[in-house]
Structure 1
Amino acid sequence: MNTRLSHQRTRIKVCGLTEVDNLLAVESCGVDALGFVFYPHSPRAVTVERAVDLVQALGPLTQRVGLFVNASLATIESVLSAVPLSVLQFHGDETAEHCEAFGLPYFKAFRMKDGFALDAAMAAHPRAAGFLLDAYQPGVPGGTGAQFNWDRVPQQAPRPLLLAGGLSADNVGRAIAKTGVYGVDVSGGVEVAPGIKDIEKVRALVAAVKAADHARCTL
Structure 2
Amino acid sequence: MWIKICGLSTHAAVETAVTSGATHIGFVFAESKRQVTPEYAKYLAKDVPKTVKKVGLFVNEDLAVVQEVVAKVGLDMVQLHGQEKADYAAQVGVPVIKVFGIKDGKIPAAIADFKAHTILLDAPPTQFAGGSGQSFDWEKVDLTTLDGYRFFVAGGLNPENVSRAIAIFNPTGVDVSSGVESDGQKDLAKIEHFISSAQTKCHKR
TM-score normalised according to structure 1 size: 0.86
The letter of the residue matching 1:37 is V
- Identify the residue that residue 68 of structure 1 maps to in structure 2: 58
- Identify the residue that residue 136 of structure 1 maps to in structure 2: 124
**RMSD of Structure 2 on Structure 1 (CA):** 1.7
Distance 1:48 1:121, change over 3 A: same
Distance 1:185 1:60, change over 3 A: same
The letter of the residue matching 1:23 is V
Unaligned runs of 5+ in 2: none
Q: Give the match's secondary structure for 1:57.
A: coil
Q: For residue 96 of structure 1, report the CA deviation from its aligned partner.
A: 0.6
Q: Give the match's secondary structure for 1:146.
A: coil
The letter of the residue matching 1:74 is A
Distance of 1:22 and 1:211 partners within structure 2: 21
Q: Give the match's secondary structure for 2:133.
A: coil
Q: Answer yes or no: is 1:145 the counterpart of 2:133.
A: yes
Q: Give the match's secondary structure for 2:120.
A: strand
The letter of the residue matching 2:79 is Q
Q: Answer yes or no: is 1:28 the counterpart of 2:28.
A: no
- Identify the residue that residue 156 of structure 2 maps to in structure 1: 166
Distance of 2:163 and 2:154 partners within structure 1: 13
Unaligned runs of 5+ in 1: 1-9
Q: How many residues align?
A: 203
CA contact (8 A) 2:106 2:142 kept: no
Distance of 1:182 and 1:209 partners within structure 2: 12
Q: Answer yes or no: is 1:215 the counterpart of 2:200.
A: no
Q: For residue 211 of structure 1, report the CA deviation from its aligned partner.
A: 2.2
Q: For residue 210 of structure 1, report the CA deviation from its aligned partner.
A: 2.1
Distance of 2:95 and 2:183 partners within structure 1: 30
- Identify the residue that residue 206 of structure 1 maps to in structure 2: 195
The letter of the residue matching 1:147 is S
CA contact (8 A) 1:26 1:197 kept: no
Q: For residue 116 of structure 1, report the CA deviation from its aligned partner.
A: 4.5
Distance of 1:192 and 1:109 partners within structure 2: 25
Q: How does 1:1-219 map to 2 (within 5 A)?
A: 10-39=1-30, 41-114=31-104, 116-118=106-108, 120-128=109-117, 130-138=118-126, 140-151=128-139, 152=141, 154-155=143-144, 156-194=146-184, 196-216=185-205
Distance of 2:111 and 2:148 partners within structure 1: 8
Distance of 1:199 and 1:160 partners within structure 2: 28
Q: Give the match's secondary structure for 2:20.
A: coil
CA contact (8 A) 2:105 2:136 kept: no
Distance of 1:75 and 1:137 partners within structure 2: 23
Distance 1:178 1:34, change over 3 A: same
Q: Give the match's secondary structure for 1:77.
A: helix
1:166-217 deviations in Å (ceiling 9; x for gaps): 10111011111111111100010111244x421211121122112212332x
CA contact (8 A) 1:23 1:54 kept: yes
- Identify the residue that residue 7 of structure 1 maps to in structure 2: none
The letter of the residue matching 2:204 is A
The letter of the residue matching 2:80 is F
Identity of aligned residues (%): 37
